[in-house]
Amino acid sequence: MTHALDELDIRILNQLQDDATLPVAEVAERVASSKSVVWRRVQGFVDSGVIERRVAVLNPKKVGFSVMVFAMVKMSRHSSNALPKFIEAVKAIPQVLECHTTLGQVDFVLKIATTSIEEYRELVWTRLSQLEVQEISSLISFEQTVNTTRLPLHATAG
């Protein structure tokens, strides 16, 4: 379900996308609204799931994760329990930052952060290859040229 956003919603959410630690009073000042209105709207965003969580975004390289891999996984079978079993298994692998179920040539695309190629190799051999996969193709990122968590918000008809 899509949440209809008005212009004030967008201004508030854009402020929070830039810095989720801003006090409500600061957000209210920046969006030219009252603290109570901003507080109610932010609470509504949290209650409705528009704001899923507030986190610190870390620089992977500065905390030792120098290898970013995109693994394309093709499953060996598509039984009713094989795909959910795979999803649950990759949720338990801390190096897996994202798991996307896809249509097309592969079944899943994983974004994986590791400290080394050797760590990634170990992860493939001891964890991923044990999950009824037919094939794993890996792309190793050597430079990240765009990195944002900011969604390009626009007012939606409501």
- Cβ atoms of residues 28 and 41 within 8 Å: no
Side-chain-side CA neighbours of 116 within 13 Å: the count stands at: 3
pLDDT of residue 1 exceeding 60 = no
Q: Is pLDDT at 111 greater than 90 in this prediction?
A: yes
**Rounded Cα–Cα distance for residues 97 and 130 (Å):** 19
Helix (H, G, I), strand (E, B) or coil at 44: helix
CA 62 to chain centre: 19
Domains of the chain (ranges plus CATH)? Answer: 7-48 (1.10.10.10), 60-141 (3.30.70.920)
pLDDT of residue 39: 98
| Other CB atoms within 10 A of residue 110 CB | 21
C-alpha span between 91 and 37 (Å, rounded): 38
pLDDT confidence tier of residue 97, bands split at 50, 70 and 90: very high
pLDDT at 80: 81
What are the tens digits of pLDDT across the range 51-72?
A: 999 999 999 999 999 999 999 9
**pLDDT exceeds cutoff 90 at 140:** yes
Which pLDDT does position 155 carry in this prediction? Answer: 62
- Whether pLDDT at 157 is above 80: no
Least confident of 35-39, 42-46, 77-81, 90-94: 77-81
What would the mean pLDDT of 10-38 be, rounded to a whole number?
A: 97
- Whole-structure pTM value: 0.87
- Percent residues over pLDDT 70 in the chain: 96
Among 21, 27, 28, 11, CA closest to 54: 21
